Structure 1
Amino acid sequence: MVKYHKKYFLVFVLPTLLAFIVAFFVPFLLGIALSFTEFTTVIDAKWVGIKNYVTAFSNMDFINALLFTVKFAIVSVLTINFFAFLMALLLTRKIKGTNLFRTVFFMPNLIGGIVLGYIWQVILNGILFKFGVTITFKPEFGFWGLIILMNWQMIGYMMVIYIAGLQNIPRDVVEAAKIDGAGRFQLLRKITLPLVMPSVTICLFLTMSNSFKLFDQNLALTAGAPSRKTTMLALDIYNTFYGSVGSEGIGQAKAVVFTLIVAFVAIVQLRLTRKKEVEN
């Protein structure tokens, strides 16, 4: 059986590998090369060295978008995972209508980002109109509007993953801890959390990567208003790349920096949480 698998390994791997190379790896390398050029199309690229990167980091809109995105990612990751885990704990208890609740909470994840953004723009503006303002009146309104939107969309999805992790905890381990006198908090800290760490790793990765890459919801909810103070990295790159002719190289440089930041954060998070899994 092992020899059979080795013999046909390339047959099964090659299509996926080719798709990865053509659709991701080659465009990624080409994107890095273009970030050091001025171009309007690939064939008219002119080498300018690190000029695009210097321009990108001297642009305060880019710096503000980076700081706004980091702040948003921290708050959204913490709130989404906290509430998702709390709901998972509640829905793994014997409560009537549990399956209905799981379905209802998961459904927002099936709605497209643009649609969600406009839905929540109408809802939040409907509330804020009573006070004579809109979601774009202050950056703080836009920030918390995005947090609420992201939580509403992602909590149900993360909850399902946490439920799967909680249901895989051996009942005999829990019962043994109860016999030894462990209370609810001790069970949570000593048994539940350590054994559900694989789910924590997945949920942290998904929420963090989605928070950094947020675009559709940002565009629909605030479009960066007021004065680009609620612009996230993905939207700032879009505005730079398509904002005016001649800024494509700068937009590409921002895109490379953005990719490296997301990759670095994801790798660090995965290493830390997987290390915690091994320790447990």
Structure 2
Amino acid sequence: MNSHSKLEKVETSALELQKNTKALKSVSLNKNKKLKDAGLFALFVGPVLLAFTLIVLIPFFTGIYYAFTDWNGITGAVKWVGLDNFKYIFTEDKQFLDSFKLTTKYTLVAIILTNAIGFGLALLVTQMLKTRNILRTVFFMPNLIGGLLLGFIWQFIFVKGFASIGELTKIPLFELAWLGDANTAFWGIVIVSVWQGAGYIMIIYIAALQNVPQELIEAAKIDGANRWQILRHITMPLVAPAVTICLFLTTASSFKVFDANLSLTNGGPFKSTEMLALNIYTEAFVNNRYGIGEAKALIFFLVVAAISVIQVTYSKKKEVES
């Protein structure tokens, strides 16, 4: 009995040792796998994260610090002034408030027109047209041209081209001083921005429209639905996620409009078309009041972020309801 018991103990110990060995090997393999995954993650994400930190995060938080100083952006003397910059902006800087109102007006107009035209173009080029691929290319091409270059091209069109057409045809529309009057200059910026952005928005809507099940549309036609009813009750609810994306993109880009504003009017005449981004740029890099410029940029960031979050949240809820 004793020898049999000893043998069982030896076998039990051997089994436990074998199990422990397997467990150690498993832990070692898992550890090596985790190290390998961490190495691959660092290899692929590390450079991007480093670049993002250097180019975006560090300047962002540095800018927040400078928003509470009176630094002129050139000298090394930085004086902490607390909330003085923000008090100045809201109490004495009338131009900032005027630029904010103008930018809000421009954003509302640009969002509506860009999405409406982009969606209309998407509906057009998703029809069975022989030239639909050529039309897609033509409509998208303005988005490939840089904003500054595009602005200077349209500046020539508004100043020289329209004036020449007006002399020949005597049409009042072409005889207007498009960039010399506050009202027409505003609409000039809108025209250029919408012309550039509608093609990009069109591509997103095309992708959404191509995913609409044709069976539903055919069934609706059989049931007697007309084109408007199909668009309203079938197409629009199904492309709602694309609408959310396009509204977000156009909201952010419209609020941040700078290059078209700079190249077309440079804020003129008499700062009547100076948008927020151009106002911030002028304050920081032309007037050399970097602290006030950063304070304006911080306010601008908070406003755009809040509006974007509200817009996306509301649009997502509408998607669920529909």
Structure-1-length-normalised TM-score: 0.92
Spell out, residue by residue over 1:187-231, the C-alpha distance to the aligned partner (whole angstroms, 9 max, x if none): 111110010011111111111111111111101100011110100
- C-alpha separation between the residues in 2 aligned to 1:133 and 1:164? 39
Task: Judge conservation of contact 2:179–2:188 (CA < 8 Å) in 1.
Answer: no
Match of 1:173 in 2: 216
Q: Distance in 1 between matches of 2:237 and 2:189?
A: 31
Work out which of the residue numbers 55, 58, 78 in structure 2 matches 1:23: 55
2:129 corresponds to 1:95: yes
Q: 1:6-56: per-residue Cα shift (whole Å, max 9, x none)?
A: 944743444433333332222211111110001135853211011111112
CA distance, structure 2, for counterparts of residue 49 and residue 242 of structure 1: 21
Query: Counterpart of 2:208 in structure 1: which amino acid?
Result: G
How far the C-alpha of 1:128 sits from its partner, in A, is 4.7
Question: What is the aligned counterpart of 2:86 among 22, 34, 53?
Answer: 53
Contact 1:88–1:163, Cα closer than 8 Å, also in 2: yes
1:84 touches 1:156 (CA, 8 Å); kept in 2?
A: yes
Deviation sequence 1:138-174 (CA, Å, 0-9, x none):
2101110011101110111111111110000111222
Q: What pairs up with 1:96-175 in 2 under 5 angstroms?
A: 96-126=130-160, 127-128=162-163, 130=166, 134-175=177-218
Q: Distance in 2 between matches of 1:227 and 1:117?
A: 19
Name the CA distance, whole Å, in 2 between partners of 1:119 and 1:33.
39
The structure-2 alpha-carbon separation of the partners of 1:251 and 1:105, relative to structure 1 and needing over 3 Å to count, comes to: same
**How far, CA to CA, are the matches of 1:43 and 1:15 in structure 2?**
31
Letter in 1 for 2:319: E
Instruction: Judge conservation of contact 1:121–1:135 (CA < 8 Å) in 2.
Output: no
Q: Distance in 2 between matches of 1:21 and 1:267?
A: 23
Gaps of 5+ in 1: none
Alpha-carbon distance in 2 for matches of 1:90, 1:117 = 27
Does the CA-based 8 Å contact 2:69-2:291 persist in structure 1?
A: yes
2:110 alignment partner, one of 76, 83, 96? 76
Match of 1:208 in 2: 251
- Once residues 108 and 161 of structure 1 are traced to their aligned partners in structure 2, the CA distance between those partners, rounded to angstroms, is 16
Aligned-pair CA distance for 1:72: 0.4
Q: Shift of residue 269 of structure 1?
A: 1.3
Structure possessing the higher radius of gyration over alpha carbons: 2
Backbone CA RMSD of aligned residues? 2.0
Q: Partner letter of residue 199 of structure 1?
A: A
Give the secondary-structure state (helix, strand or coil) at the position aligned to 1:192: helix
* Percent sequence identity over aligned pairs: 46
Q: Which residue of 277, 283, 302 corresponds with 1:240?
A: 283
Mean CA deviation greater in 134-143 or 92-101 = 134-143
Q: Show the counterpart of 1:271.
A: 313
| Secondary structure of 1:37 counterpart | coil
Give me the whole-angstrom Cα distance separating, in 2, the residues matched to 1:229 and 1:128. 22
Q: Which amino acid aligns with 1:63?
A: L
Residue equivalent to 2:302: 260
Tell me which amino acid in the other structure corresponds to 1:160. Answer: I
Flag structure 2 segments of 5+ consecutive residues without an equivalent.
Answer: 1-29, 167-171
Decide which moves more: 64-73 or 133-142: 133-142
2:242 to 189, 199, 218: 199
Q: Distance in 1 between matches of 2:53 and 2:223?
A: 55
Alignment deviations for residues 106-137 of structure 1 (CA, whole Å, 9 cap, x no partner): 00000011111111111112325747653332
| Conservation of the 8 A alpha-carbon contact between 2:158 and 2:179 | no
